[in-house]
Structure 1
Amino acid sequence: MEEKMFTPGGMERLQATSDRENIPYPRGDGKVKLVNSEWLDRHLTDTNLTVIDVQPNIHDYIQEHVPGAVYLTEGVLRVSNRGFPGSYSPNACIQESFRRAGITADSPVVVYTGKGAFSGAGDGLGQTMMAYTLAKYGHNAVYILDGGIDAWKSEGRELSQDYPPVEPSDFTVEVRDDYPIGYEEFVRIKDNDDVVVLDARPAKVYEGKGPWRKAGHIPGAVNLPWKSLMHEANPARLKSNDELDMILEEHGVDRSKTVICSCGTGREATNEFVLLKWLYLYPNVRIYEGSFTEWVTYPDNPVVEGSDPRGARVETASAR
């Protein structure tokens, strides 16, 4: 009976279930970990801790934020490059942004977002986007607040309207090039038997309802909507490990394979990259930052509409 229960990676994920009770989670020296509101409240006055507010609108931060938090919009992370709309900002820009926020590479930084109290906006992705970018550009101790500011508020914890005094840091960008996968390498390996490509977009977009010049998804990409991994009432809070384990099993996300996380512009994919690489400790995880937006800039690249990764159901229906 036990042999049937554990598909490849099942034992490791069950271990993660118990480890998640130990905050910061997971144990070890990974660049990104998960913390809860209770932990942050206890450590809020630590002199080496920086808290970064990534709420969707500056007015959300002005209205309310975790005491001592510095506002850093995720909008500084990407700019247009030769017309392509989703490129990361130049290293110097990212470096200066992190310096102004007082971030140092080896001191813990907690990132959070939420449903903006002023704007009403916010999808929960700001904190994984910021966490991934911090780690990619050289930070070594990034903490994500599970549930974001909405979890903090729901527990009746203190909020502030004060702006903390911040001394600029000497943060120096050191890019970790092994996290992203570029277009040419992606094309070369995406169809290999030992590779799983995930598409984190909503099912209707994956199937063909998106804004791109071509509808659908990259052939072979398996749809794993990022929101399916999060609590319905709070998209900044991960579901339980038991639920996550079941979802990953159902989608064939095998830890023995190379997993490539993709989406529309590379933002939604950060949610699944963070989960698999740092929280579930999958050994081979990459993120295709260009994602579907880059894929369809090449006119000859095929796309698939519908729910099947390779369009087999569509082709069968046509043959009939």
Structure 2
Amino acid sequence: MDEKMFTPGGMERMQALSDRDNVPYPRGDGMVKLVNTGWLADHLNDSNLTILDVQPDVHDYIQEHIPGAVYLTEGVLRVSNRGFPTTYSPNSCIQEAFRRAGVEADSPVVVYTSKGAFSGRGDGLAQTMMAYTLAKYGHNKVYLLDGGLDAWKSEGLELSQDYPTVEPSNFTVEVRDEYAIGYEEFVRIKDNEGVVVLDARPAKFYEGQGPWRVAGHIPGAINLPWRSLMTDENPMQFRSNAELDIILEEHGVDRNQTVICTCGTGREATNEFVLLKWLYLYPNVRIYEGSFTEWVSRPGSPVVEGPESRERRAETAPAR
């Protein structure tokens, strides 16, 4: 690709092109890395490896899973708090869930999901939701299976209906608060020069549909649907680096900026947070966990309907 296609810093993303074939990807000390099915097949019997199956329904896991995988539903990660529906579970609950799954903070954990063979459900986001949560609460070696169980099955690799014997671990939660950004700080910096806010929801929600009591999006947010970053055939498989470079460039997302990932409830945003922070190694990435659900619950928070251009992102919409 011609260098003139890229904004300042954009060419640095190209360093990842060759590393994609050298798993775990990328090299370095990132908490979350990408692995492919070949890597997992080669390491399936590693004594220190934990494999977490986060398929959408336990019956999907019962019907088929990767040998040795432990089932851990993403449903344990968030609960209602004082009525707000999407807050993270208490530290003690998350700690106990990880302990029962045998997760050790410094031993590698592979996370995968699927479009459930039994339930027919699953959008693919459970992988990045679990990977983000593991890293946020203190895990140091999270491996994301590119393509998930669907890629594993497409290659005719072994499946199992056996349940592994798991000894509870001594995992201790250590929250990395620097990943998330709260409402007050978000409001304070979101319109600053050098800050870009991404909305990972589908375009129809961004423009004004969806279940929220107020339609639209946060003023200034740029719509980058998370699904556009994944292959057409598999919502658990990232597009090639060359394709991702072009998409990020078209949306004005540059590594020299502070990037804040948002969506509807903070779940879709984990896909873009994982990609930018850990796979592309952007230095300043945050996630607004409350996202649009919290935004519209706050009195006076402005909302914009319709497709908003990059040029309009600094404008302030009228308050409700």
For residues 240 and 113 of structure 1, what CA distance do their matches in structure 2 show? 20
For residues 121 and 215 of structure 1, what CA distance do their matches in structure 2 show? 26
For residues 232 and 128 of structure 1, what CA distance do their matches in structure 2 show? 18
Give the CA deviation at 1:5: 3.4
Tell me which residue corresponds to 1:66: 66
Residue 283 of structure 1 aligns to a residue whose secondary structure is coil
Give the CA deviation at 1:210: 1.1
- Does structure 2 retain, via aligned residues, the 8 Å contact 1:205–1:216? yes
* Equivalent runs, 1:1-320 vs 2, <5 Å: 3-308=3-308
- Does structure 1 retain, via aligned residues, the 8 Å contact 2:199–2:224? yes
- Does structure 1 retain, via aligned residues, the 8 Å contact 2:3–2:11? no
For residues 13 and 3 of structure 1, what CA distance do their matches in structure 2 show? 12
- Does structure 2 retain, via aligned residues, the 8 Å contact 1:231–1:237? yes
For residues 197 and 22 of structure 2, what CA distance do their matches in structure 1 show? 31
Question: Which amino acid letter does the alignment assign opposite residue 258 of structure 1?
Answer: T
CA-to-aligned-CA distance 1:87-115 (integer Å, 9 cap, x gap): 00000000000000000000000000011
Q: Which moved more, 1:10-19 or 1:234-243?
A: 10-19
- Does structure 2 retain, via aligned residues, the 8 Å contact 1:219–1:309? no
For residues 148 and 227 of structure 1, what CA distance do their matches in structure 2 show? 15
- Does structure 2 retain, via aligned residues, the 8 Å contact 1:201–1:268? yes
Give the CA deviation at 1:209: 0.6
Change (3 A) 1:233 1:116: same
Question: Which amino acid letter does the alignment assign opposite residue 277 of structure 2?
Answer: K
- Does structure 2 retain, via aligned residues, the 8 Å contact 1:138–1:176? yes
For residues 147 and 219 of structure 1, what CA distance do their matches in structure 2 show? 33
Question: Which amino acid letter does the alignment assign opposite residue 199 of structure 1?
Answer: D
Unaligned runs of at least 5 residues, structure 2: 316-320
Give the CA deviation at 1:296: 0.3
Question: Which amino acid letter does the alignment assign opposite residue 172 of structure 2?
Answer: T
Residue 178 of structure 1 aligns to a residue whose secondary structure is helix
CA-to-aligned-CA distance 1:224-245 (integer Å, 9 cap, x gap): 0000000111100000000000
For residues 20 and 260 of structure 2, what CA distance do their matches in structure 1 show? 24
Give the CA deviation at 1:309: 5.0
Residue 177 of structure 2 aligns to a residue whose secondary structure is coil
TM-score normalised over the length of structure 1: 0.96
For residues 158 and 125 of structure 1, what CA distance do their matches in structure 2 show? 23
Residue 80 of structure 2 aligns to a residue whose secondary structure is strand
Give the CA deviation at 1:19: 1.2
- Does structure 2 retain, via aligned residues, the 8 Å contact 1:305–1:311? no
Question: Which amino acid letter does the alignment assign opposite residue 276 of structure 2?
Answer: L
For residues 9 and 110 of structure 2, what CA distance do their matches in structure 1 show? 29
Change (3 A) 1:173 1:93: same
> CA RMSD for the aligned pairs?
1.5
For residues 159 and 4 of structure 1, what CA distance do their matches in structure 2 show? 47
Give the CA deviation at 1:300: 0.7
Question: Which amino acid letter does the alignment assign opposite residue 60 of structure 1?
Answer: D
Give the CA deviation at 1:310: 7.8
Residue 149 of structure 1 aligns to a residue whose secondary structure is helix
Give the CA deviation at 1:2: 5.1
- Does structure 2 retain, via aligned residues, the 8 Å contact 1:206–1:305? yes
TM-score normalised over the length of structure 2: 0.96
CA-to-aligned-CA distance 1:190-215 (integer Å, 9 cap, x gap): 00011000000000000001110100
Question: Which amino acid letter does the alignment assign opposite residue 176 of structure 2?
Answer: R
For residues 293 and 307 of structure 1, what CA distance do their matches in structure 2 show? 19
- Does structure 2 retain, via aligned residues, the 8 Å contact 1:200–1:226? yes
Residue 178 of structure 2 aligns to a residue whose secondary structure is coil
For residues 177 and 95 of structure 1, what CA distance do their matches in structure 2 show? 16
